Structure 1
Amino acid sequence: MNSVVVALQQLQLALNAEFADAPGLQQLAFSVSLSDASDALAWLTTQRLYPQFYWQQRNGDDEIAALGALRQFYTLNAARAFLDDYAGQPGVRITGVNAFSPDTSCLFLPRLEWRRTGGGASLYLNLYSEISLRDDARAAQQFLEQLLPAKQLLLQRLNCVAEQHIPTQPEWQQLIGSALTAIEQHEMDKVVLARATDLQFTAAVSAAAFMAASRRVNLNCYHFLMVFDASHAFLGSSPERLWRRIDTALRTEALAGTVANHPDDHRAWSLGQWLLKDDKNQRENMLVVEDICQRLHKTVGAIDVLPPQVVRLRKVQHLRRCIWTDLATPDDAACLAMLQPTAAVAGLPRDVARDFIASNEPFEREWYAGSAGYMSQRQAEFCVALRSAKVTNNTVRLYAGAGIVAGSDAAEEWQEIENKAAGLRTLLTKATF
């Protein structure tokens, strides 16, 4: 088994071969030792090449570290069309994020990708050119020459000097009041409203160290980090799958309904049992289930809805119902259009709720409540971009939302978003992370 250094040397030697002086897409791959390359995040974020994308599946089986963009795609439709054009390269993955508004994406075909599946890992080098693969092989050699050896992610000392909620708590109460009025007037059944919290620090925040700290403590979550350039990044640790596709088999879920977690296992179990029986939270979850099934039923086979589960996270617990089905064709663009945004992050009816959010929320969601993941010919997986933050130099914007239905209480929903935001906020307000 090769070390990363040896695998990179093998890739450089492979680039000395003769490549066609013609357009095309080609992928080179060499296996790497997990003992040597176990921290893909540290290796990726040591580099000074962009964009960078890190993603880890919530059960830990899949991990991606993608570096450098050969092609960028600003819609998932465009990325899917590219993969279809190169159906003879089924191992090629496109990675990145989709915005809350699903017609906007930041997806890219990486130059270099560290990929782990189960107990095996490999380095993949992509060559792509609309003119000459031979010329791109030379460009790839220059790219590899710029790589740096991985450095350990160091703890960072942070000093928060300012904090601002958008909306403020009084404004939140007014916002909830407006939502409840619309619900009472039967304009909508549910709307998910969010809060942004801007934290200012005395020095630039390391998005990589922030991600590493969250990965250590926020278990049973997807972890994702999109580094756009040296000063701008978006990251999160999300419990929720948007969809997973293997060939035509589709897995999605309804994650809605929330109660606090507790460090005492018995107390946490009691809270979870309350969540399973609480009418408001059950209604909120079933609204999401019904909406997903309605959106899927015209393009899939039989739909199986599994019994409810309680998902226990660090600060909160959620209700989850898994939904399994089969697609008529393996179309990820259709999956995005059908599933994002779900009622768990927007509301019902979806278009009415989105309009209410656009008209009333006092900030732009951008990538928050969108999705993060990868797609290829054979498979794709995206998580919902929740429990997330935007890092811009010395400013961190945290996001958290709550589902508003008939009977919601503004003070209780404020506490819910406090609990949700705490999963990342407590990492930033400690002395180090």
Structure 2
Amino acid sequence: MSDTGARPIGVAVLGMGNVGTEVVRILTESADDIRSRVGAPVQVRGVAVRDAAKTRAGIDPALLTTDAAALVARDDVDIVVELVGGIEPARTLIRAALESGKSVITANKALMAVHAGELSEAAARHRVDLYFEAAVAGAIPVIRPLTQSLAGDSVNRVAGIVNGTTNYILSEMAETGADYHDVLAEAGRLGYAEADPTADVEGYDAAAKAAILASIAFHSRVTADDVHREGITDITPADLDAAAKFDCTVKLLAICERMTDADGAERISARVYPALIPLEHPLATVNGAFNAVVVESENAGRLMFYGQGAGGAPTAAAVMGDLVMAARNRVNGGRGPLESTYASLPIASIDEAQTRYYVSMRVADRPGVLAQVAGEFAKQGVSISAVRQEGAGEEARLIVVTHRATDRAQSETVAALEQMDSVIKVSSVLRLEGTND
């Protein structure tokens, strides 16, 4: 692609953490290649930082500014790359950029999970691009396949491991038998967990990504508040040991699926929780801090996207992919796909979701207890698939794996079990995903 006489594309980078540093490095070191791909030079006009006096290796100090709003407003800026994170001031800065006719690239999952509709409308009004591939699963291309490659297909389900911190913790617990708190501490030492890991271990990060995936896959607006969320803090080595005995492992899954009732009415189920999955399932082999997303569509069937879900260089690679696309559109006068919300499907309650369940309980070890427990499942219409009993003496550990049932039926069953004299404690309830039973 020739760039003879082409006007340079000016880029403003907001934020210079690990990802921002990598983006600026790539733009500088690969300037010739990027110019050839885009059809015009792509030049960094400025980088907004908190402390402009801080020395940053390889960065021209003249590019640094603490006034992000002024940088966004500059006439020589065509594309704004937002890597600040959080809701504000990121939302205000992005809106200002879009409303002044500048395209925006963001990796901000928290913002897009709440304000994607508002920002997409602003991008459409002002005929500019809003790209956010890096907001879900780092370097793994998921957003673009859903919006473009599968645009002519009907997506039924998107499920995956979209948080590297929790996947590392669960993988280590399964492999070593260590306690959750010990592995979390090690994850912090290795840099896999933040000083405050709440967003990761309580599922907030995964829920934001699930909202983005569901919105795109099902052409409806889904926010983080629409996603049922559970974290991994209550998972024990005993749960992982029991899962292994059923030829399963435990992963924190983000699941978005299209639900159709008997009358043909469709709804969206979006949920995040730790779940057992069979060892033969492709997601079971995704270990460490890696991510993977499985997309199931009407015609393409099952597609799996796997790779590094976080980190400066991998996430910067996704940002750069968006940046090159936006810059090409600037040069050629085109635009990327707009937000698609034509379906406007309602969100289903978690009570309506159907899956299988793993229920672990401590019970009195005496004759007739198993029959009583099985009877309680039957009363709620929940069919039992497998039972395992461990221990002897006055107490035993009873593990029940069910066939598919609604979350409402399972919750009512557990509530009834907790009232039984023979059940000392219901220790753990986990879903079982990835089977056809």
TM-score range, shorter chain: under 0.3
Instruction: Pick the structure with greater CA Rg.
Output: 2
Identify which of structures 1 and 2 has the higher relative contact order when contacts are C-alpha pairs closer than 8 Å and 6+ apart.
Answer: 1
Please state which structure has a larger fraction of its residues in strand: 1
TM-score by length of 2: 0.25
Q: Is the helix fraction higher in 1 or 2?
A: 2
